[in-house]
Structure 1
Amino acid sequence: MTVETSSSGDAGVRAGAGELAVAAAVGAGEAVLSRRFGSAITLVSPEHLVGSGPATVVRARVVSSSFALPRTLVVKHYPDQPEPGHGDPFAQEAVSYQLFTALAPDERMCPELLAHDGKDRVLVIEDLGRAPTLQDKLTTRDSRAAERALLSWARSLGRLHASTASREADFNALLRRLGGPARIEEPDLAARTAEVPPMLAELLGVTVPDAVHERLAAAVAQAKTAAFRAFSPAELSPDNNLVTGSGVRFLDFERGRVRTALVDAACLRLPFASCPDALALPAGMSEAMIAAWRAEVVSVWPSFADDTELAEQLTVSELLLVWLITREMLPRLDLTRHATPVSREAALVTWWRELAKHAGYARHTDVAEHATRVAAALGARLGPHADLAFYPAFR
């Protein structure tokens, strides 16, 4: 016999499951805090902070105790073990917070880690309050506030890189101590980029010249080099950044790792490109963000004081980023209808056009010409409105 449930019944089941997850997170948070401070600590008034990751995230109030704990804190509980062969988001987040908590407060671009436990898979971190996110700033109608927030984000990203540029060994040691691998393995970039030329040929009728293949090989090699390595949050979503009075602070390190900082810096040219709802920024904004980032990192990487050298390195990294995004997006796009200005189709056209422009500035003529052909082929299929719209703050 088939039993039908109403939508209200489904909602009730989901609510019940959510309440159980919150209770489990609170219990795990109380346990780790009690062990950390040697006395029972009670958390009350839990507020479920719903996110897209695997953790249950709860803001809770601390019942008065003799310890110098803040009035409220945030508990992140990872009840499920990672899938075999996949990274462990709990371990990566815990180690990321440990790395930053060991730094001086003015170098800490994230909340402070108060307690954690690998057995219970729980983190307790400082509550930065109800500050707006960078996404909030981009979706209001205040362009100046959005501009200030973006520049603060770029400066904070630079400070994050500068303060962790020599900390890869520390990160890996913390990861091993928590039972993780010796280091987080990067994806096979050569194999991934090799998937793109057949897509471009089949879907767009564009072939890739040998010179561009060589540029891609250089970009893959750059991503693997020991130069310019620093901690990266990996998920550079505007939702994961709080705009506080002390500057932008990063949240959610479930994919945190050490890699070349140029991957993140390329995202200043194609802001939030990995996000499904990424939109465009006005002319000059990306250049201002790169200048803000460079001001923070030039002390540890002096070669970036040279405009030509910086443009060269950023263009190589941007080329790799656009190819990896194309690998993910192009097979999923609908190339049979005209794109709207807020679609992923329009985003991909815009990012290829940006690559063509920046490659031209860096005198990578072969890349600029190829990127122009790809953008034109996309535009021919997607229609005259395949230009990515600005974020609401800049409309």
Structure 2
Amino acid sequence: MTAIADERISSVLETAEGVLSKRAGSSVQLDEPEDLGGTGRSTVIRARVLDNPVSLDRTVVVKAFDDQTAPSQVLREIASYRYATALPTKSRPGPQLLASDFEERLLVLTDLGHGRPMVELLGSTDIDEVERGVSAWGQALGRMHAATLGGEDDFDTLMRVSGKTKGGKGRVTVAGGGIGDEAAASVRAHAAMLAEIDVDLPANSREILDNGLKLFASGDFRTFSPADVGPGNILINGDGVQFMDYEWGEFRDATLDVAYALATFPALLSTDVVMDRPRLERALVHAWRGEVKPLWPSINDRKLARRIFTARALWVWLSTYWMIQGDATGHDWALHTTDARVVLARWADLADAGELAGVDEAFVDGADRVQEALRIYWFG
């Protein structure tokens, strides 16, 4: 990444200076912008702070959304960062929010530094190093979940107040949206998808997917989630695992996050350690369980395994739905892939997980049949 001086970057930098200056009550100057990429709907830059009236770090990260981004999405990210920043320091899942402006569609965040991407760590050939990484991932998820259990009312309040326009004359609200709506659409297409790939599943397969959907709206362990907790949104620095990108932050059952991690990380493993995937999955779940167990003592290991399996089945189904749809636009989630081999592997892994979770044998056999049907569907 190199310093960028194009018109868009300059405009974002100027707006960020105004937002920070308003917060500080005196002029703040930023310079040396560095393009950190973005999702296509956003511009993300690192900038050096020249004047530092509010004891800012030497660098900050600025994220600005374009005019095509739905206001509700900007609102959700601002509210999510405000909520996460208010958590105790050790429980904060990622960068802190320094300043934001809803109408300017801009956030200023602390800089996590260069760190090590989780994607890079997962590609290591050292199984012990990878295991330490996924354990840290599980612990970080668990700390975030433990710290946010029971905080949904506070988050909802932030969602309401963060959407106020200048003068308080208007307010943006959020109704639905995000990956939960995508998952619901995939479940509605259950019969059509099975017909498309010419395979049958046990009668309870729709029930399992419906139970997975319920984890978005209910559950006895509802906690905050950035929503896309996949490897591409994780940086490991001196403070440990850091989650980035809160565009779809929400409260939902915590097992959805654990299952999302299990569904997305195997595709990034090197060939030297891929056979140790079950060991790595156990390490991640065990580390997460250690953090949340004091707050969720009522769930035993068998019940937990089945719930994680249910959530995982939904994620695998959704990734298959996206693949069959053939629509690669608008899905910059770690779960989304255009590689058929990844989807096939997810079904194979799901069948293995079903056996370990004690799910009925008919569904496990059905998962194997789906894998074979998809292989024929895509490769003949």
Whether TM exceeds 0.5 here: the answer is yes
TM class by smaller structure:
0.7 to 0.9
Report if the CA contact (8 A) 2:123-2:269 is conserved. Answer: no
Of 259, 264, 277, which aligns to 1:271? 264
How many residues in Structure 1 have an aligned counterpart in Structure 2?
A: 353
Query: 1:82 Cα deviation (Å)?
Result: 3.1
User: 2 CA distance for matches of 1:224 and 1:313?
Assistant: 15
Structure 2 residue 273 is the aligned partner of structure 1 residue 289: no
Query: 1:330 Cα deviation (Å)?
Result: 2.8
Structure 2 residue 353 is the aligned partner of structure 1 residue 353: no
User: 2 CA distance for matches of 1:56 and 1:329?
Assistant: 27
Within 5 Å, which residues of 2 pair with 1:257-268? 257-268=250-261
Comparing 145-154 with 116-125, which one deviates more in the overlay?
145-154
User: 1 CA distance for matches of 2:359 and 2:34?
Assistant: 53
Within 5 Å, which residues of 2 pair with 1:65-80? 65-80=52-67
Structure 2 residues not aligned, in runs of 5+: 164-171, 328-336
User: 2 CA distance for matches of 1:354 and 1:153?
Assistant: 20
User: 1 CA distance for matches of 2:151 and 2:20?
Assistant: 27
User: 2 CA distance for matches of 1:93 and 1:118?
Assistant: 10
Query: 1:193 Cα deviation (Å)?
Result: 0.9
User: 2 CA distance for matches of 1:149 and 1:383?
Assistant: 34
Report if the CA contact (8 A) 2:72-2:173 is conserved. Answer: no
| Counterpart for residue 318 of structure 2 | 324
Residue deviations 1:81-112 (CA, integer Å, cap 9, x gap): 534xxx63322221111011111111112111
| C-alpha spacing 1:49/1:221, structure 2 compared with 1 (3 Å) | closer
Query: 1:177 Cα deviation (Å)?
Result: 0.9
Within 5 Å, which residues of 2 pair with 1:121-140? 121-140=105-124
| Counterpart for residue 196 of structure 2 | 202
Residue deviations 1:9-67 (CA, integer Å, cap 9, x gap): xxxxxx99x71111111111111111111100111111111122422111111114343
What one-letter code is carried by the residue in structure 2 that aligns with 1:154? Answer: G
Residue deviations 1:344-395 (CA, integer Å, cap 9, x gap): 22211211122222222323223112112112323456679xxxxxxxxxxx
User: 2 CA distance for matches of 1:65 and 1:350?
Assistant: 50
Query: 1:72 Cα deviation (Å)?
Result: 0.9
User: 1 CA distance for matches of 2:189 and 2:77?
Assistant: 31
Of 97, 100, 104, which aligns to 2:88? 104
User: 2 CA distance for matches of 1:60 and 1:150?
Assistant: 31
Report if the CA contact (8 A) 2:119-2:268 is conserved. Answer: no
Structure 1-normalised TM-score? 0.81
Within 5 Å, which residues of 2 pair with 1:163-242? 163-179=147-163, 180-181=172-173, 184-185=176-177, 186-187=180-181, 189-203=183-197, 205-242=198-235
Comparing 99-108 with 146-155, which one deviates more in the overlay?
146-155
Report if the CA contact (8 A) 1:59-1:74 is conserved. Answer: yes
Residue deviations 1:276-331 (CA, integer Å, cap 9, x gap): x7557433111111111111122222234x11111121121122222222211134
Structure 2 residue 360 is the aligned partner of structure 1 residue 371: no
User: 2 CA distance for matches of 1:245 and 1:200?
Assistant: 47
Query: 1:144 Cα deviation (Å)?
Result: 3.4
Residue deviations 1:199-240 (CA, integer Å, cap 9, x gap): 22232x212332323333333334432422111112223221
| C-alpha spacing 1:255/1:133, structure 2 compared with 1 (3 Å) | same
Structure 2 residue 15 is the aligned partner of structure 1 residue 20: no
Of 115, 134, 155, which aligns to 1:150? 134
User: 2 CA distance for matches of 1:50 and 1:223?
Assistant: 30
Structure 1 residues not aligned, in runs of 5+: 1-14, 334-341, 385-395
Comparing 206-215 with 307-316, which one deviates more in the overlay?
206-215
Query: Per the alignment, in what secondary structure is the counterpart of residue 38 of structure 2?
Result: coil
| Counterpart for residue 337 of structure 1 | none
User: 1 CA distance for matches of 2:127 and 2:108?
Assistant: 35
What one-letter code is carried by the residue in structure 1 that aligns with 2:239? Answer: S
Report if the CA contact (8 A) 1:25-1:77 is conserved. Answer: yes
Structure 2-normalised TM-score? 0.84
Report if the CA contact (8 A) 2:258-2:308 is conserved. Answer: yes
Of 304, 314, 327, which aligns to 2:308? 314
Report if the CA contact (8 A) 2:101-2:107 is conserved. Answer: yes
| C-alpha spacing 1:134/1:348, structure 2 compared with 1 (3 Å) | same
| Counterpart for residue 118 of structure 1 | 102
User: 2 CA distance for matches of 1:119 and 1:28?
Assistant: 11
User: 1 CA distance for matches of 2:231 and 2:206?
Assistant: 32
User: 2 CA distance for matches of 1:158 and 1:369?
Assistant: 32
